[in-house]
Amino acid sequence: MDRIGASPTGMPTHWSARLGWSRRRFWRGAPDVLWIEAIGFSGSLFTILTYSMKEMLWLRLTAVLSCLSFATYGVMIESWPLILMEMTLLPINLWRLNELRRADLLTDDPRN
C-alpha cells in the first residue's frame, strides 16, 4: 500500500495526509516546492560541508547540524533507519564537541 494513500480501513496513512496537509506546499505562492525534501537536501549540504572542514570545531558543528537536519527529515518521511543512525551520531558529535570545548578551556592561558 502506498504510504500516502489510504490504509485498508480508508484512513490516510501518511502523517501529512492525516493532518490534511499538502506535502508539496511550503508557502502559498510556490505549490511545487518540496519543503520536506529541502530539509533532506540541507542535511546533505551540511554533510558535504563537514567533509570540507579543516578545523575540528567547525567539523563537529556542521556534523551536528547535519544530524539534526537528517533526523528531522527522517521523522517527516518516517524512515526509522535514518532516524536511528542520526540519533546515534548526534550524541557522539556532541560529546566530541564538548571534549574540544573542554580541551580549549584547559589550554587557554589567561596570562597571554
Q: Bigger pLDDT: 8 or 23?
A: 8
Average pLDDT on 9-27 reads: 54
Q: Is the pTM of this model over 0.75?
A: no
Inter-residue contact 43 to 63 (CB < 8 Å):
no
* Per-residue confidence (pLDDT) for residue 31, from 0 to 100: 41
Question: How is residue 80 written as a grid cell?
Answer: 526509522
Residue 110 has pLDDT above 70, yes or no: no
Q: In whole angstroms, what is the distance from residue 50 CA to residue 68 CA?
A: 13
* Per-residue confidence (pLDDT) for residue 5, from 0 to 100: 53
* Per-residue confidence (pLDDT) for residue 18, from 0 to 100: 54
pLDDT digits (tens, 9 = 90+) for 64-105: 999 999 999 999 888 999 999 999 999 999 999 999 988 887
Q: In whole angstroms, what is the distance from residue 79 CA to residue 68 CA?
A: 14
Question: CA 93 → CA 12, 27, 96, distances in Å?
Answer: 37, 33, 5
- The secondary element (H helix, E strand) that includes residue 38 is helix 35-52
Mean pLDDT for all residues in the chain: 79
Helix ranges (DSSP H) in the chain = 15-19, 35-52, 56-77, 80-107
